[in-house]
């Protein structure tokens, strides 16, 4: 018994380390990408179409990465993704607008592997334990915040200036690759750690996952529309109501700050109220946060809305991810997690396609924030009505241990 507990703690520690790697890399070029483009000379009006294209790329690539992870081993595919991401991150440091624009789109394709493969890997290693996963997931949010702030300091206080995100991103991508390869060394030598190829091909496996959960994924995309609109437009909204640069930065960071205690308290909430109720509550909270962001007359109230947003986001992410992973067919767990992540990109695409005309028509970002706030609770209701059914315990994923 003691040995089992020691092994579980070791697995949890390693899972936490993987989350730290993910959070560190995600905190490099992505949070600064739009600023890098503008600093390099891109017209702000082109950011919307570019973001829409990036969302489409994510929608297409995330399920493909997941399926590859199921077929060839999640850790192996993740190591390859981090390695390929290193030169893409370096391109963000060039200061050349065309190069950065291409790198921005390429990063959308490569980074779509980070979250679903990591989440699927960690869930498999923790045997679906949502409580441990929630606590481990804190590492990703915490490290993301640390890296974002550290890069901000480098931009402001060193000669790197706006090359800092690309330089730090390159170093961290290579570091993450090295850590994963060191862990994989024994698997490369013994041949262990790769999944047994399934009978279905890449496209067929993705289509099967979409068909199995299509109504749920539509509802999930609507919920993420309600979370992504504030993530995109909170900064401009703070500026509209007369906020300072400091208040804009505080409002943007506030959501991630609350994710940490929200994830830590989530295991107790899940035990007390269940995943579907917490998912619905998260959708409603996102709706309230979005409406508050749209209508708030002061920067202080906008910051408070972002704090509320962080809790709502945590409450929808983990229950929905656990549900779609539990319902996955044998050998399709990473692909299902990737479809979950692709639905987040779908929410971004909804915001880009519907939100930009609203901004153009009204001259304010408040309209798109209000619209997304209405969509989120509707999506949450649709999601719980189409909640994925857990796979039969008689047909476990035989490759779960090997994949991890």
pLDDT of residue 160: 85
Q: Exposed e or buried b for every residue in 284-317, given b needs 16+ CB within 10 A?
A: bbbbbbbbbbbebeebeebbbbbebbbbbbbbbb
pLDDT reading at 56 higher than 60: yes
- The boundaries of the domain holding residue 182 are 8-189+202-403
Number of domains making up the chain: 1
161, part of any domain: yes
Asked if residue 330 belongs to a domain, the reply is: yes
3-state secondary structure labels for all residues of 4-69: HHHHHHHHHHHHHHHHHHHHHHHCCCHHHHHHHHHHHCCCHHHHHHHHHHHHHHHHHHHHHHHHHH
pTM above 0.85, yes or no: no
User: Quick one: average pLDDT of 230-254?
Assistant: 73
Q: Is residue 348 a part of any domain in this protein?
A: yes
Which of residues 246 and 334 earns the better pLDDT score? 334
At 83, which CATH number?
A: 1.20.1250.20
Identify the CA nearest to 24 among candidates 97, 101, 89.
89
Give residue 201's pLDDT: 59
Question: Does the pLDDT of residue 282 top 90, yes or no?
Answer: yes
Cα three-residue angle 114-24-123, rounded to 5 degrees: 45
Confidence of residue 396 (pLDDT cuts 50, 70, 90): very low
197 lies in some domain: no
Q: Is residue 267 part of a domain?
A: yes
Q: Model confidence at 41, in pLDDT bands (50, 70, 90)? A: confident
Q: Summarize pLDDT for 339-351 with one digit per residue, the tens.
A: 888 888 888 888 8
pLDDT of 155: 80
Per the domain annotation, does 194 fall within a domain?
no
Q: Round to whole Å and give the CA distance between 232 and 63.
A: 23
Is residue 196 in some structural domain?
Answer: no
Residue 166 inside a domain? The answer is yes
């Amino acid at each position: 018994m003691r040995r089992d507990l020691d092994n579980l703690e070791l697995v949890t520690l390693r899972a936490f380390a993987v989350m730290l790697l993910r959070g560190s890399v995600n905190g490099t070029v992505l949070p600064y990408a739009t600023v890098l483009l503008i600093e390099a000379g891109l017209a702000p009006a082109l950011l919307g179409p570019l973001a829409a294209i990036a969302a489409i790329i994510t929608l297409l690539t995330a399920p493909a990465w997941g399926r590859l992870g199921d077929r060839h081993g999640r850790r192996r595919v993740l190591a390859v993704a981090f390695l390929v991401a290193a030169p893409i991150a370096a391109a963000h440091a060039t200061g050349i607008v065309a190069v950065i624009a291409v790198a921005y789109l390429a990063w959308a394709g490569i980074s779509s592997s980070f979250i679903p493969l990591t989440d699927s890997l960690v869930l498999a290693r923790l045997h679906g334990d949502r409580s441990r996963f929630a606590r481990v997931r804190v590492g990703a949010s915490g490290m993301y915040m640390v890296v974002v702030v550290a890069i901000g300091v480098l931009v402001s206080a060193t000669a790197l200036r706006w090359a800092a995100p690309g330089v730090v991103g390159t170093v961290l991508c290579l570091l993450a690759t090295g850590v994963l390869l060191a862990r994989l060394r024994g698997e490369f030598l013994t041949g262990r750690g790769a999944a047994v190829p399934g009978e279905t091909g890449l496209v067929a496996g993705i289509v099967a996952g979409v068909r199995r959960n299509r109504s749920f994924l539509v509802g999930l995309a609507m919920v993420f529309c309600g979370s992504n609109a504030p993530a995109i437009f909170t900064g401009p909204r703070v500026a509209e109501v007369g906020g300072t640069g400091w208040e804009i930065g505080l409002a943007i960071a506030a959501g991630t700050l609350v994710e940490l205690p929200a994830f830590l308290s989530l295991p107790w909430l899940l035990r007390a109220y269940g995943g579907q109720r917490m998912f619905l509550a998260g959708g409603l909270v996102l709706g309230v946060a979005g409406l508050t962001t749209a209508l708030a007359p002061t920067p202080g109230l906008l910051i408070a809305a972002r704090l509320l947003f962080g809790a709502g986001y945590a409450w929808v992410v983990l229950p929905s991810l656990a549900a779609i992973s539990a319902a996955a067919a044998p050998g399709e767990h990473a692909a299902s997690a990737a479809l979950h992540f692709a639905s987040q990109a779908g929410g971004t695409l909804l915001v880009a396609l519907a939100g930009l005309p609203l901004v153009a028509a009204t001259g304010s970002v408040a309209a798109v924030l209000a619209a997304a706030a209405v969509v989120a609770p509707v999506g949450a209701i649709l999601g719980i009505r189409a909640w994925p059914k857990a796979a039969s315990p008689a047909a476990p994923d035989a490759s779960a241990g090997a994949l991890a």
